[in-house]
Amino acid sequence: MGYYAVFWEMQDRPVLLVGGGRVADEKIHKLVDAGARVTIVAPELIPEVRQYVDDGRATLIERSFEPGDTEGYEVVMVATDNGVVNKQVADEARSRDIWVNAADDVSNCDFILPSLAKRGQISIATSTGGSSPALARWLRERMEEFLSDDVVALGDLLAEVRVLARTRDRECAGECALAETPPPLLCKDCPNRVQADTWQEAIDDELRALLRAGSYDEARERIIHSLGIDQPLKPRATAEIPAGD
């Protein structure tokens, strides 16, 4: 196997979910939360899955899978324990160049789903390549422990401060003759660029301590100062004007 880890944009993406049992319940809430447009094909639904249909968050085709059902979808998720059905769905999806995932059936998967720990804006995905669901769960639980309140607050803080830094970048680039088309906005040797190492150094023990203490505003002031984005812009480069003939 040659798995390549990605986070896939699912907003408004049409997804076919085949099956209406416990496995479908595990898959549908993540799909709906990600903004996918989910259609379920299943002759029966457990109450938890039925609720998504009743709430208008998913569409139901109340019957077994039939040939042609994958047409018009960009992703197909198979949530049955029937290997024959899994293969039928996977073969049809692949013939249409549609990516397919079949739960616990690697041979009928184009991609597998990682075990995901998520809080706030932070998601940590772990995978064993399908070799050990038990270990994947153990890893997820450890990652959930890692995502403490101060780590979540750190994620929110860095996202907020990055917006400020990019606004400053645009201000600098708007007056610089050497600025490039975004990205990266700033010229290569810009004195106002916040280097990647500077960001890492700014996430220090004192910053984490402030966040653990709930002192978000003080933490915000500290990292803004550490990055130097509270300082006036340094002189910008100017374009050289060619001498006339």
Digit-by-digit pLDDT tens for the chain (245 residues) are: 688 889 999 999 999 999 999 999 999 999 999 999 999 999 999 999 999 999 999 999 999 999 999 999 999 999 998 989 999 999 999 999 999 999 888 889 999 888 899 998 899 999 888 788 899 999 999 999 999 999 999 999 999 999 999 999 998 888 888 887 776 677 778 889 899 999 999 999 999 999 999 999 999 999 999 999 999 998 865 544 444 54
Same-domain status, 83 and 165: no
For helices 47-54 and 22-33, the axis angle rounded to 10 degrees is 30
Which residues span the domain enclosing 33?
Answer: 14-113
What residues have CB less than 8 Å from 166, skipping those under 6 apart?
Answer: 185
Domain-embedded: residue 241? no
Same-domain status, 19 and 102: yes
In the chain, the amino acid numbered 32 is: V
Same-domain status, 32 and 88: yes
CA-closest candidate to residue 123, choices 111, 114, 112: 114
Question: What's the pLDDT score for residue 236?
Answer: 63
Contact in structure between 99 and 116 (CB atoms under 8 Å): no
Q: What is residue 217's three-state secondary structure?
A: helix
